Each structure stands twice: as C-alpha cells, then as structure tokens.
Amino acid sequence: MAAALGDPVRHALEAVLDAVRDRTDGAVADYIPELAKVEPEQLGAALASTHGVVHEAGDCDAEFTIQSVSKPFVFALAVDALGLDEVRRHVDLEPSGEPFNAISLDEASGRPRNPMINAGAIVMTSLMPGDTADEKFAVVLAGIERFAGRDLPVNEEVYSSEASTGDRNRALAYLTRSAGTLGAAVEVATLAYFRQCSISVNARDLAIMAATFATGGVNPLTRERVISEDAARWTTAVMTSCGMYDESGDWMVRVGLPAKSGVGGGIAAVQPGQFGIGTFSPRLDARGNSVRGVATLELLSERHGLHMLQHHGAPLSPIASLSRVEAGDADGGSDGDTVVALRGEILFSEAEEILTRLAPLVGDRGCLVLDFTAVTRVAAGARTIFSALPDTMGRLADGRSRVAVHDPDQVLGAAER
C-alpha cells in the first residue's frame, strides 16, 4: 500500500517556521499600548491556493489585529466604489520611501503619496460610503469579511487603545483635510480607520484574503466575486511598489511577492494567479514589519522559487496537435481542412505563438479550424487578436473563411464564427 502523501505544502511551511523560530530580534509594537500585551512568541503561516485549498503551519488560529494589512483591501473597495480616477484625485500611487506614519503628502496637491501609508489609508477609509464613522466602518468590515469568507470580530481593547492615543494619525487626517483630500470630518475618518485596524484576523484569514487578489478578485473558498479584476490588479500593483514601506524595493528583489504588513504582526503576500500567504509573528523590525514574517516569506520564496518575476523557461505549447481532416474523418472540419487543437490558458504570448505558427499554413486549399475545446480561458487582450482572424486571414475562393473557430464553451466570448 502506498504511503499517505500527507500535506507536503504544510511540511514545507513547517520547515521554514522551524528555521526562523529562534529569531528573537525586534519588538512588539507598543505605541498602541494594548499591542504591547501580545504574546511575542506566536508564529504561524498559511498558504491558500487559487483552487481554494488552505495549508496551515504553526499558530494559524491565533487572532491578532489586522492593522495596516487592511489597507490594500480598503483601497480595492474604494476603487470599485468610486472608480480609479476619483480615488486618484485623493491619493497618489507613488512609493514614499518613508515610514508608515510619515507626513508624506505631495507638496503641490496635498495628496498622500500612496494608500499603503497611514495618511493615504485614512483618506481611503474617509471615502467609504456613509456619513458617520459607524456607517463607513460597516462598509469596510463587510468588504473585509467577504475577502476572508467569514464574520470577523473587532478587538475593542485595541480599538479603544488606539482611539485614545492616535493623535499622530489625527494630525495626518487634519493635514489631508486642509489640503482637501479627506472625504469626511477628521474624527469620522480616524475613528472608522482605528476600527478598521482593530479587526481581528488569523494567518489563515490573511492567506485567503491575499488569495482573493491572486484569483483576480474571487474568494477561492466561497467563490464569491469580492472585487473586480481591475481592482485586484491595481491593488496588487500598489502592494508591489509600496506595501512594505521603506523596505519595499529591497523586499521586491529578495522576496518578489506583492505584500502588506501590519504592526499587529501580520503579513499578507500575493502570488498573482497562484496563491496567497498569510504570516503572523508579533515582533517587528524598525520599519514596523514582522521580523519572523519577513524571514518566513524570504526563505519560502528562496527555497521554492516563489519570486513573481521568476523566469519561466519552457511553458507547454498552446498548440496540442495539428491534424489534416481526410474524407470520412469527423474532426469538426471538412475534407481537406486542418484542425488545430488548442489547449490551456491563452494569454497574449500564447496568442502570438498560435497566430505566428499558423499563418504559413493558411493556404488556398481547405480551411484552418481552430479548436478551442481544451482551452480553459482566453485573456481579454488575447481575445481581441483572435477576433481579427477571419479578416486578416482572408477567404477561400468559394467564399468560405480560411479560418474557422470551434469554441463550444465560448471561451472567446462570442458566438462561433
């Protein structure tokens, strides 16, 4: 009998946690007094695939406050609620290269540099629908719960602690208010923001939330579309350039995963199209990023080749087979036609390969039948290239198109031509 396979991904996560467990450098955040009480030894990591499978290692059920990890999710909600142009009237999308709580506003426009630093995040929360802090927070909470796929509690102690000490954030809010970029009164915006930061999550939640960006906006467990594909892409882009504050550039080189950290000790990291990772360990480095969370993601990326810009050597050709239909064959074509069976996901470069390889085959005799039966998806940008096919390839003398498309599942999005 074959040995049980177990969960090799969990083992990989556990091995990395074991390698970083002994690190005791850094310190738990204490500028929000309640955070200083957190048990510093906790350590957990979870990976959620875009297929909806979650692998967990260590303290994945331990709850902590989401803090700044909430920022990309609220940015995504704002983009879908208001549109990117309107959001950009209130915030820039440039890395600040400065700490998370810096007074980082564009000199001329007064806009915060990006939505991942506190100033920009408070502005994003202020733009949420509703007039009061409670109403705005309700929209934020409902959105973040859809990302996580479950109801999430608020840590009231941490909320009160930050609400009674968060004067620097109030100062940032006043500055944005005076520059005309804050969408609400200072107290409305900051109280909603403090509650947002006090939402209680675990590493598993962060993995699922990040995986929702990885799928292009669909929660891989609940299958609910949470945000648009555009919002997922734009947000992941901002996480890439700004998510780790003044460590963002170095992080991108070493780890290569769009990510967002929080002073509660959480980090959410995205590998677009593949998975999300959530880590939790409370001790922070000087930039407010979890020491062992950073080390975990760095080692995972290095050991398992997770860098988003990893070179992909030899992808499977999108052309599975090419066959000539002879009399009597029932391959979807007529006698003398050539049937080209395509497969997998077709992005721009697959479309380029298909069309470049097939162009010389379009002869006087017979028709080229492109069979999309085994194609899982045609990306929008590739679709437009295929839609030009019959025109660019011309027609046979008898008036038939030189190219026909067999697309039973309508992956091209239009009726069969």
Give the nearest distance from C-beta 100 to ligand DON in angstroms.
Answer: 4
Q: How far apart are CA 412 and CA 405, in angstroms?
A: 9
- Contacts with ligand DON, 239-268, as mask; x by CB under 6 A: ----------------------xxx-----
- Contacts with ligand DON, 282-321, as mask; x by CB under 6 A: ------x---------------------------------
Q: Which is nearer to ligand DON, 205 or 407 (CB)?
A: 205
Q: How far apart are CA 85 and CA 287, in angstroms?
A: 30
- 338-346, strands of its sheet edge to edge: 319-324, 338-346, 368-378, 403-406
Q: Which residue in the set 162, 246, 350, 407 belongs to the binding site for ligand DON (CB under 6 A)?
A: 162
Concerning whether 387 is annotated as a catalytic residue, the answer is: no
Nearest Cα residue to 13 out of 62, 71, 59, 80? 59
Any residues with CB less than 8 A from the CB of 313 and at least 6 apart, and which?
none
CB atoms within 10 A of CB 323: 15
Which phi and psi (to 5°) does residue 375 adopt? -90, 130
Decide: 206 and 46 in contact? Cβ < 8 Å.
yes
Q: Which is nearer to ligand DON, 197 or 238 (CB)?
A: 197
Give the nearest distance from C-beta 180 to ligand DON in angstroms.
Answer: 22
Give the nearest distance from C-beta 93 to ligand DON in angstroms.
Answer: 18
Give the nearest distance from C-beta 198 to ligand DON in angstroms.
Answer: 8
Biggest alpha carbon–alpha carbon distance for the chain: 83
Q: Which residue in the set 42, 50, 96, 101 belongs to the binding site for ligand DON (CB under 6 A)?
A: 101
Q: Which is nearer to ligand DON, 30 or 86 (CB)?
A: 30
Q: How far apart are CA 259 and CA 243, in angstroms?
A: 5
Q: Supply 357's token pair.
A: 């390889």
Q: Which is nearer to ligand DON, 18 or 250 (CB)?
A: 250
Concerning whether 174 is annotated as a catalytic residue, the answer is: no
Q: Is 17 in the site for ligand DON (CB under 6 A)?
A: no
Decide: 278 and 205 in contact? Cβ < 8 Å.
yes
Concerning whether 263 is annotated as a catalytic residue, the answer is: yes
Q: Is 161 in the site for ligand DON (CB under 6 A)?
A: no
Which phi and psi (to 5°) does residue 49 adopt? -85, 165
Any residues with CB less than 8 A from the CB of 367 and at least 6 apart, and which?
333, 334, 336, 337, 338, 396, 400, 401, 402, 403, 404
Q: Which residue in the set 20, 186, 188, 197 belongs to the binding site for ligand DON (CB under 6 A)?
A: 197
The CB-nearest residue to ligand DON is 68
Across 96-250, the runs of DSSP E, i.e. the strands, are 200-201
Radius of gyration, CA atoms only, the chain? 25
Name the percent of the chain in helix, strand, coil, to the closest 5: 40, 15, 40
- Contacts with ligand DON, 37-76, as mask; x by CB under 6 A: ------------------------------xx--------
Q: Which is nearer to ligand DON, 246 or 337 (CB)?
A: 246
CB atoms within 10 A of CB 276: 29
Q: Which is nearer to ligand DON, 49 or 169 (CB)?
A: 169
Q: Which of 193, 248, 281, 411 is catalytic?
A: 193
Q: Which of 263, 291, 339, 403 is catalytic?
A: 263
- Contacts with ligand DON, 108-147, as mask; x by CB under 6 A: ----------x-----------------------------
Q: How far apart are CA 30 and CA 162, in angstroms?
A: 11
CA distances from 269 to 126, 213, 233, 259, 301 (A): 25, 10, 14, 4, 11
Q: Which is nearer to ligand DON, 30 or 416 (CB)?
A: 30
Give the nearest distance from C-beta 227 to ligand DON in angstroms.
Answer: 21
User: Residues 163 to 182: which contact ligand DON by CB under 6 A?
Assistant: 169
Q: Is 100 in the site for ligand DON (CB under 6 A)?
A: yes
CB atoms within 10 A of CB 142: 11
Concerning whether 68 is annotated as a catalytic residue, the answer is: yes
Q: How far apart are CA 178 and CA 192, in angstroms?
A: 19
Give the nearest distance from C-beta 71 to ligand DON in angstroms.
Answer: 8
Which phi and psi (to 5°) does residue 220 adopt? -70, -15
Give the nearest distance from C-beta 250 to ligand DON in angstroms.
Answer: 15
Q: Which of 49, 68, 70, 248 is catalytic?
A: 68
| Interaction site with ligand DON (CB under 6 A) | 67-68, 100-101, 118, 162, 169, 197, 261-263, 288
User: Which amino acids are annotated catalytic?
Assistant: 68, 71, 193, 245, 263
